[in-house]
Structure 1
Amino acid sequence: MKDPLVRALVVDHTAPGHLSLTDVPVPRPTAHETLVRVEAVSLNSGEVYQAIRPETPNGTQLGWDAAGVVIQQAADGSGPAEGTRVVTVGQAGWAELRATPANLLGTAPENADPGALSTIPVAGLSALRVLRRMGSLLGRRVMVTGASGGVGRYAVQLAARAGAHVVAISRSPAQADGLRNLGAQEVHSEPAAVRQPVSAVVDNVGGQYLVDAFASLSAGGTLFCVGRSSEADVMLSTDTLLGAEGPYGRSIHSFFLTGDPTTDFSADLTWLAGEIATGRLHPSISWRGPWTRHAEAVQLLLDGRLHGKAVLDLG
């Protein structure tokens, strides 16, 4: 007797967007994993670029962000009960079913839009957790590069709510009004255009943007490397790092959301889901369609024409 199958998006280098819908085995949850019926997923640039790399094997299942409904509670009693709406982070999420441990799953209000929830995991968690590492933001100038992207839009909203004067950096002039509506008080096309120092930076771009953003830091300021959408290397002089060129005591910190697999994201996912459901946070969905149109979404992302998140509904 053959194992039961479900549909999933897997790497296929012969298909448009290097992804194809195909049958894969139904996931077998361990005793501490909840089985979730996925209703919507969102795309992140990192996993899309992973899909198109020639060295990624055909058949690889990708996907960090997924939202849906619990259809089987974990055997050990952890996690939510059957019928609970949830948002999840992990691997192989672009599939009809996902097995998820309790630390990678948050509960959501029953009436929450699964598509909006699916934008939360990587983008929302990254923004929330990196801003917390900055300490109190009340009255401080905080720069967000790549502000029109998924992480950037959440960072702008959350920093503004924490009392920061948000300086948003976006290469697209058309995004300026939208970023101001999310809470940005300044919008510039590049970090070099910012004239007043900032005390902290959320950098999602890397390359020259990181160099110029670091130069804008005041004494003791901190830059957090969250993403590298430019795909460019960073060159900082030794004098700059030692403080001989510019204010003294500035620092650069790395950030990697899933560096520790034991990290418990459940409380943060649940809080973010509640904020999305009540409208206090905006999911910034810029493209949405059925997952049969995945190639279209992938190409828009690769072309740099997506600002915010792309969502695929499984339907």
Structure 2
Amino acid sequence: MRALVYDPDTVRGVRFDELDEPCPTPSQALIKVEVASLNFGELAFAARQLRPGQVFGKDAAGVVVRAAADGSGPPAGTRVVSFAGTGGWAQMRAVETADLAAVPDSVELGEAAALPAAGVTALQAVRRLGPVLGRRVLVTGASGGVGRFAVQLAARAGAHVIASVGRPERAEGLGRLGAAEILTGSALPGNRVFGVLDNVGGQVLAESLGLLEPGGVVLSIGWASREPTVIDFEEARMRGGHGRIEPFTVSAPFGPGIAYLLHLLERGEMDSQIGWRASWAKVDEAVEALLGRRILGKALLEVT
């Protein structure tokens, strides 16, 4: 089968290769992949996450060609979307049935493929904040995949969502997704916030701590800035920060979260925010655009 693998010796770190089809374990389904999605983190930090020659891809949607031998999961012929650490950017993928969900007939596979890593991360992060009804929640890096899902989900939970983006053009569509306020550049909220969902890191993360109201929390989700975070706790105290900061990592099983997001898509209550879509033959173009922050939302590869 053809697959896109990590190669640190190429310009963009990715190349095509011919590999054997994966051999599923008893608890895994074998999927013929039709659409995969890209995530900023898996590209920007590939050297930390992958070995040379390992198949890229957390997100992939397609059709089950072999059901799990242990009887779990959907039968052959079912359209599904899946989330795992690797293996999604290939013609065939073996994935744990606990980490996939059946795609409703009314949901297009590309829309579903955009959901797993970014959508489930945003979902779990919003839930980690706790009740946000009527509370102010800041989403930094709101123009990216996780950010655009976080804006939608926090607004759906009743939060007053403040979306922060690096440049004005990156804010396109965020108001329609539920952002009550939009900040650009280094602008900070005028009033304190209950929660911060930070996808940027660096100075943005450091400043977030001083924005919290008593009992508030900053969740460090992503590191789009790729800059070190140095927190001056004395400055945070002087600014009256009263909360805490936590590292956030998405956790398995992923299937239930994906299924919930698919339900929202099916009902027209969520938008996948697809900003780029083309054949996987154009993967270099996709990687360059995503890492260059020229894509609003998600980028999709059509696997042939």
TM over 0.5: yes
Candidates 67, 73, 81, aligned match of 2:67:
73
* Residue of structure 1 aligned with 2:262, choices 264, 270, 273: 273
1:238 shift after superposition: 3.4
Matching of residues 1-315 of structure 1 within 5 Å = 6-51=1-46, 53=47, 57-90=51-84, 91-190=86-185, 192-240=187-235, 244-247=237-240, 249-258=242-251, 263-315=252-304
Number of positions where the alignment pairs a residue of Structure 1 with one of Structure 2: 303
Q: Give CA deviations for 1:68-122 in whole Å, capped at 9, x if unaligned.
A: 1111110110011111111101121111111111211111102321111111111
User: How many Å apart are 1:215 and its aligned residue?
Assistant: 1.6
Q: Does structure 2 conserve the Cα–Cα contact (< 8 Å) formed by 1:219 and 1:247?
A: no
- The verdict on how the C-alpha distance between 1:177 and 1:7 changes in structure 2, with shifts beyond 3 A counting, is closer
Distance 1:57 1:114 in 2: 29
Aligned-partner Cα distance in 1 for 2:49–2:99: 28
1:242-274 CA deviation, whole Å, 9 max, x = no partner? Answer: xx323354100111114xxxx322111111122
Residues 263-288 of structure 1: CA distance to partner in whole angstroms, max 9, x if unpaired? 32211111112222332111111110
Counterpart residue identity of residue 291, structure 2: L
Name the Cα RMSD after superposition: 1.8
Q: Deviation of residue 15 (structure 1)?
A: 4.1
- Distance of 2:291 and 2:135 partners within structure 1: 34
Return the offset for 1:55.
10
In structure 1, the residue corresponding to 2:179 is in which secondary structure?
coil
Compared CA separation, residues 191 and 125, structure 1 to 2 (3 A):
farther
Distance 2:275 2:220 in 1: 24
- Contact 2:210–2:242 at 8 Å: present in 1 too? no
Shift of 1:56: 5.7
Equivalent position SS for 2:129? coil
- So what's the TM-score if we normalise by structure 1? 0.91
Asked if the contact 1:8/1:95 (under 8 Å) is kept, the reply is yes
- Which consecutive residues of structure 1, in runs of 5 or more, have no partner in the other structure? 1-5
- Following superposition, the deviation at residue 166 of structure 1 comes to 0.3
* 1:13/1:233 CA distance change after superposition, 3 Å: closer
Identity of aligned residues (%): 41
Aligned counterparts of 2:26 and 2:49: Cα–Cα separation in 1: 33
